[in-house]
Chain A
Amino acid sequence: MPRKTVLGVFLGVTLLTAQGPDRLMVGQSDKLIGKRNANVQIKIPLTVQKGFHVNSNKPREEYLIPLKLTWTSTGALQAGQIDYPAPSIEKFEFAEMPLSIYSGSFDVVAHFKVASNASAGPGAVSGKLRYQACNDRACFAPKTIDVTLVYQVE
């Protein structure tokens, strides 16, 4: 019988962003503990600068650039689905139909599975968050910001 070991996974999650004057800010997420082979999830808190909005992950107009989080490196974690919150549906002067947007503060939830062979120790998940911000009179060039999750397998 294999030796029973406590394979707790401590995910100390820190989110870092880079690049210029962002109208979407990434906050610090909660820490969580998981086990090898466990499914874990991380809330990624986002805040849109007051007076602006970003398109949701499923904008109603084809030409609008969606909010999209993608992982470029996941370390000892296997990337799962990413849950975006329900959007607000709002009407703007510049669009005939109401648009699907996010404003204020909201969370994106990223799911991972801890690899069965995860080694104890620190690791990092890196990703890119792409968004397009507008107010009701102007739009700002789409931006991609870096997102890094730091985890600790214990």
Chain B
Amino acid sequence: MNTMRLSAVLASMLLVGGILAGCAKKQPPVTARKTAPNFTLKDAEGKEVHLADYRGKVVLLDFWATWCGPCRIEIPWFREMETQKKDKGFAVLGVSMDDDGWKVVKPFIAEMKMNYRVVLGNDQVAKDYGGLDALPTTFIIDREGKIAFVHVGLTSRKDIDEVVDESLRAPGGSGRISLPALLLPSR
């Protein structure tokens, strides 16, 4: 449904990111934000989770996998943020992209003491969210269900906190784009 829309968003972001390669962030106008594609995925208890149900909250949507080292750095940050900000209308939603499913994800959730909701992703969600070739990929979705921030690769706790706090203060949020891992594979 929203695939084309998101593709346009990501294409715009890549274009902007390409132009800005080297100065990783940019704040496009709030009006340029696109709606995050809705999805229905199941959590560890088998309950359906609809992204649309989070409308009215600021959502940190984290695409991750058990085999992803950088994801392991971010998860404790997101755990803390869930605890610190959930009463302000904030929620973390983790989407595991593990092909092996719950048999590997459930032990990982326990190991990492993940206190936020985790669902299993699929190919359609990956496609809707731009392919998700690289993980982690983090989206921050504002209270209106629009994409306020995208970051491919390990981000910084400071940046994420800033964007979430701005988004919590104003329905519009910051509208940042940050794609350094995609644009500037280092080492």
A137-B181, A138-B154, A139-B134 given; A63·B67 CB < 8 A: yes
On chain A, the residues within 8 Å of B72 by CB distance are 63, 94-95
Q: Is the interface of B mostly helix, strand, loop or mixed?
A: loop
Question: For this complex, into which size category does the number of interface residues on chain B fall?
Answer: 20 to 34
B residues 128-187 near A (Cβ < 8 Å) are 133-136, 152-154, 180-182, 185-187
A132-B67, A142-B67 given; A103·B154 CB < 8 A: no
Distance between Cα atoms of A64 and B66 in the complex (Å): 8
Distance between Cα atoms of A95 and B180 in the complex (Å): 19
Q: Name B131's closest neighbour in chain A (CB-CB).
A: A141
* Contact in complex: A94, B185 (CB < 8 Å): no
Q: How far is the CB of A105 from chain B (nearest CB, A)?
A: 15
* Contact in complex: A139, B187 (CB < 8 Å): no
On chain B, the residues within 8 Å of A108 by CB distance are none
User: 19 A-B residue contacts at CB 8 Å?
Assistant: A52-B187, A53-B187, A64-B67, A65-B67, A93-B70, A93-B73, A94-B73, A103-B187, A132-B67, A134-B69, A134-B70, A135-B181, A135-B186, A135-B187, A137-B180, A138-B70, A138-B134, A138-B135, A139-B71
Q: In the complex, given contacts A63-B69, A138-B68, A138-B153, what are 19 additional A-B residue pairs having Cβ atoms less than 8 angstroms apart?
A: A93-B70, A94-B69, A94-B72, A94-B73, A95-B69, A132-B67, A135-B153, A135-B185, A137-B153, A137-B154, A137-B185, A137-B186, A138-B135, A138-B181, A139-B67, A139-B135, A141-B65, A141-B133, A142-B99
Interface of B with A (CB < 8 Å)?
A: 65-73, 97, 99, 133-136, 152-154, 180-182, 185-187
